[in-house]
Every structure is written in structure tokens, then in C-alpha cells.
Amino acid sequence: MVRKEKSAAAAFLESAERVEWVEVILRDGRTLEGNVIRNPIRRTGTVVNAVQETRHDFPLDDVQAVRRVCDPRTAGLS
């Protein structure tokens, strides 16, 4: 069995599932913000944005970068 090496972005996406709000940058230039759901069997991911009520699916291989950003639902609450 040949094991495909994970990209750094895909590895971080795996840990991003435990983070409340992230920004996912795809290779085609799209930027998606929200909560990440990952399907490792199908090699796809989904970003669900509860604020804008949107959902975007993408192949995990299309992820260029992932970063944690401030959750707009809790911004300003302190």
C-alpha cells in the first residue's frame, strides 16, 4: 500500500476541525470562512458559515492554506 504524503495545509486542515472559526484559502484563489468539516474517506472538506448561512464543498487537495481567524459571532463580546 502506497501512502500519499499530506501537504502542510491538509495536515493543518485536519487540526482546524477542532478550532471554532477558520479561513481556508484554495488554490484557485477562493477564500472561505467558517467551521470545517472534513471527510477523509472521500478526500473532501466543507466550510459551513453560520453567519452568512452558506456551505462550500472542496477537494482536500485544493487547499493552499488554512488559518485561524476571529469568530464574527463572538467578536465584540467580552
CATH number of the domain residue 22 falls in:
2.30.30.100
Position 48 scores a pLDDT of: 92
> How many CB atoms are located within 10 Å of the residue 47 CB?
23
Question: Whole-prediction pTM value?
Answer: 0.73
User: Does residue 2 form part of some domain?
Assistant: no
User: Does residue 75 form part of some domain?
Assistant: no
Domain that includes residue 59, residue range: 8-68
**26-72 pLDDT per residue, tens:** 999 999 999 988 888 898 999 999 889 999 999 988 999 888 888 88
Based on the structure, what is the number of domains in the chain? Answer: 1
User: Does residue 76 form part of some domain?
Assistant: no
User: Does residue 21 form part of some domain?
Assistant: yes
